[in-house]
A and B are shown apart, each in its own frame.
Chain A
Amino acid sequence: MDKKIIYRIVLILIVVGLAAWSIYPPSERINYGLDLSGGVHLVLQVQTDDAVKAELDDAGLRLVSVAEEQGITLGTAISDPEDLSMTFDVPAGADRAVLSEIVLDYFGDYDVQRGADSWTLKFKANTEKMIRDQAVRKGLETINNRIDEFGVAEPRINRQGIDGDRILVQLPGVDNPERVKDIISKTAFLQFKEVLGGPAPDRASLLQATGGSLSPENEILPGNRTGFEGEVIGRDFYLVKKVAIVTGRELRTARRSQDEYGQANVRFDLQPSAADKFGAFTESHIGTPMAIVLDDRVMSAPVIRARITDSGVIEGNYSIEEAGDLALVLRAGALPARLIYLEERTVGPSLGHDSVVRGLRAIVAGLILVMLFMVIYYKLSGINAVLALILNLLLLMGAMAYFGATLTLPGIAGVVLTIGMAVDANVLIFERIREELKVGKTVRAAIDTGFGRAFGTILDANITTLIAALFLFQFGTGPIKGFAVTLSIGILASMFTAVFVSRTLYMILMHGQDRVQTLSV
Chain B
Amino acid sequence: MRIIGDTNISFLSYRKIALGLSSAVILVGVAYMFLGPGLNLGIDFIGGTQVTVKFQGEPDLDRIREALSTITDATPEIQRFDEVEKHEILIRIENPGDAEGDFTKPILDALHEEYDSGLDGVFDLNTQGARELADRLADDDPDGVLGDIEDRKEHYSAPAQAVLGYRKLQGMFRSVDDLDQVEGLSPQVLAHTKMIAGTGEFALLGAENVGPTVGADLKKKAQLAMWFSLLGMLGYIWLRFQLPYGIGAVAALFHDVLITLSALALFHREINLPTIAALLTLVGYSVNDTVVVFDRVRENLKLHRGEKLEKQMNDSINQTLSRTFITSGTTLMVVLTLYLFGGDVINTFAFVLLIGIIVGTYSSIFIASPVALAMNKIMVARRRRKRQR
Q: Is the CB of B221 within 8 A of A464?
A: no
In the complex, chain B residues 305-342 whose Cβ is within 8 Å of any chain A Cβ: 319-320, 322-323, 326-327, 329-331, 333-335, 337-338, 340-342
Q: Is the CB of B129 within 8 A of A175?
A: yes
The answer to the question of A228 belonging to the interface, with a C-beta cut-off of 8 Å to chain B, is no
Tell me if B341 and A365 are in contact (CB < 8 A).
yes
Interface size class of A (residues with CB under 8 A): 35 or more
Within 8 A of B (CB), among A467-484: 467-472, 474-480, 483-484
Which among B20-28, B34-42, B260-268, B286-294 touches the partner chain? Answer: B286-294
Closest CB in chain A relative to B291 CB, distance in Å:
5
Contact with B along A407-439 (1 / 0, CB 8 A): 001101100110111011001100100010000
Question: Majority SS of interface residues in chain A?
Answer: helix
**Which chain A residues border B170 with CB–CB below 8 Å?**
350
Q: Which residues 350-369 in A have Cβ within 8 Å of B in the complex?
A: 350-355, 358-359, 361-362, 365-367, 369
B221 contacts A476, C-beta separation under 8 Å: yes
**Residues of chain B within 8 A of A344, CB atoms compared:** 102, 104, 207-210
Q: Decide: B326 and A465 in contact? CB cutoff 8 A.
A: no
CB distance from B164 to the nearest CB of A (A): 6
Interface size of B as a range: 35 or more
B residues within 8 A CB of A214? Answer: 148
Pair A423/B327 contact, Cβ less than 8 Å:
yes
Q: Which residues of B contact A174 (CB under 8 A)?
A: 129, 131
| Cβ-defined contact, B288 with A464, below 8 A | yes
Assembly CA distance A30 to B222 (angstroms):
28
Partner of A461, one of B224, B228, B292: B292
Q: Which of B168, B221, B283 contacts A468 (CB 8 A)?
A: B283
Given A341-B211, A343-B214, A348-B205: A420 and B284 interface contact (C-beta under 8 Å): no
Residue B353 at the A interface, CB < 8 A?
yes
Whole-angstrom CA separation of A142 from B171 in the bound complex: 35
Query: How many angstroms between the C-alpha atoms of A179 and B130 in the bound complex?
Result: 12
Residues of A within 8 A of B340 (CB): 362
Nearest neighbor of A365 in chain B, beta-carbon distance: B337
A113 to B334, CA, bound (A): 71
Q: Knowing A410-B349, A465-B285 touch, does A366 contact B208 (C-beta < 8 A)?
A: no
Contact of A359 among B206, B334, B343 (CB under 8 A): B343
Q: A468-B229, A471-B229 are in contact. Are A355 and B273 (CB under 8 A)?
A: no
16 CB-based A-B contacts, threshold 8 Å: A38-B168, A45-B213, A176-B131, A203-B150, A350-B54, A350-B203, A354-B343, A359-B343, A369-B334, A424-B288, A427-B330, A460-B291, A468-B229, A468-B233, A472-B280, A476-B273
A residues touching B (Cβ–Cβ < 8 Å)?
35, 38, 43, 45, 174-179, 203, 214, 340-355, 358-359, 361-362, 365-367, 369-370, 373-374, 376-379, 409-410, 412-413, 416-417, 419-421, 423-424, 427-428, 431, 435, 453, 456-457, 460-472, 474-480, 483-484, 487
6 smallest beta-carbon distances between A and B, as pairs: A420-B331, A366-B334, A468-B284, A465-B284, A358-B343, A475-B225
